[in-house]
Amino acid sequence: LPWQAALGCRAAQVLMQYCILANHYWFLVEAVYLYKLLIGAVFSEKNYYRLYLYLGWGTPVVFVVPWMAAKYLKENAEVGWARCAPALSPPPQINLLIFMRILKVILAKLRANQKGYADYKLRLAKATLTLIPLFGIHEVVFIFATDEQTTGILRYIKVFFTLFLNSFQGFLVAVLYCFANKEVKSEMKKKWQLWKLDH
């Protein structure tokens, strides 16, 4: 039935917009959390854990529900509600500012320990490159090149990089912060050895 197809299309569009916004707000949560860890702020994780959850999962609801209501009341004739998505995610500039502050802190710490680490510039570069996918800094690259402004080959480059980085961002973060982590690898080795002994 046509009404069922329209309802399914609208539900899929609402879910997609919620997921996009949640992704952006979790970038912000990660940035704030890492910044607090680096500056050595004394705070209780239990007090902030719930706030992080509300910010990451709850804030998108605050924007998606009014958008959904406005679409239903004003533009209900449009089958899929594809136009005018809620562009109310936190601006990538916020994450960029936090990113710059974190790099400043890392640089200061690396310079302070420069005697122990002769390759502190290499370590700073590595830290910078690993923070880019975690904070979604790649989105800042094309922030001024909107879809209306980009044409031809630039548009294809923008679409390719945006889709590639957005699609594999979770994988990149998992590899860099989980599977490449020494502590995680040592725990996995222990589990593997215990499993081999049991079997």
Q: What is the pLDDT of residue 40?
A: 66
Percent residues over pLDDT 90 in the chain: 1
Do 15 and 78 belong to one domain? yes
Flag whether pLDDT at 82 surpasses 70: no
Could you report the per-residue pLDDT of 139-180, keeping only the tens digit for each? 766 666 666 677 788 788 877 877 787 777 778 777 777 777
Note the pLDDT of residue 34.
Answer: 79
Q: What is the pLDDT of residue 58?
A: 92
Answer whether residue 150 is part of any domain.
yes
Same domain, 80 and 143: no
In the block, tokens 């992080």 appear at 52
pLDDT given for residue 90 in this prediction = 65
Q: Where are the alpha helices (DSSP H) in the chain?
A: 2-38, 45-53, 59-74, 92-112, 120-135, 138-141, 152-174, 182-198
Confidence at residue 142, expressed as pLDDT on a 0 to 100 scale: 67
- Whether the per-residue pLDDT at 185 is higher than 80: the answer is yes
The yes-or-no verdict on residue 85 having pLDDT over 60 is no
Cα–Cα dist 67/75, whole Å: 11
Rounded distance between C-alpha atoms, residue 16 and residue 155, angstroms: 23
Q: Is it the case that residue 116 has pLDDT exceeding 60?
A: no
Q: Give the integer Cα–Cα distance in Å for 176 and 129.
A: 10
Q: Helix or strand or coil: residue 141?
A: helix
> What is the number of structural domains in the chain?
2
> What are the residues whose beta carbons fall under 8 Å from the beta carbon of 161, sequence distance 6 or more?
138, 141, 142
The domain containing residue 155 runs over which residues? 137-198
For the entire predicted model, the pTM comes to: 0.66
CA 29 to chain centroid, in Å, comes to 9
Tens-place pLDDT, residues 12-54: 888 888 888 888 888 888 888 878 877 765 555 556 888 888 9
**CA-derived radius of gyration, the chain:** 21
Residue 126 within a domain: no
| Distance, CA of 144 to CA of 158 (rounded, Å) | 11
Q: Does one domain contain both 78 and 146?
A: no
Contact of 162 with 142, CB cutoff 8 Å: yes
Res. 187: pLDDT tops 80: yes
Specify if 121 maps to a domain: no
Residues 2 and 78 reside in one and the same domain: yes
Task: Identify whether 123 is part of a domain.
Answer: no
CA atoms of 63 and 14, how far apart (whole Å): 11
88, 104, 123 — which closes off a domain? 88
Judged against a pLDDT cut of 70, whether residue 81 lies above it is answered with no
Q: How far is CA 131 from CA 3, 26, 196, in A?
A: 45, 14, 36
Using CA atoms of 75, 76, 81, 87 in order, give the dihedral in degrees to the nearest 10: 40
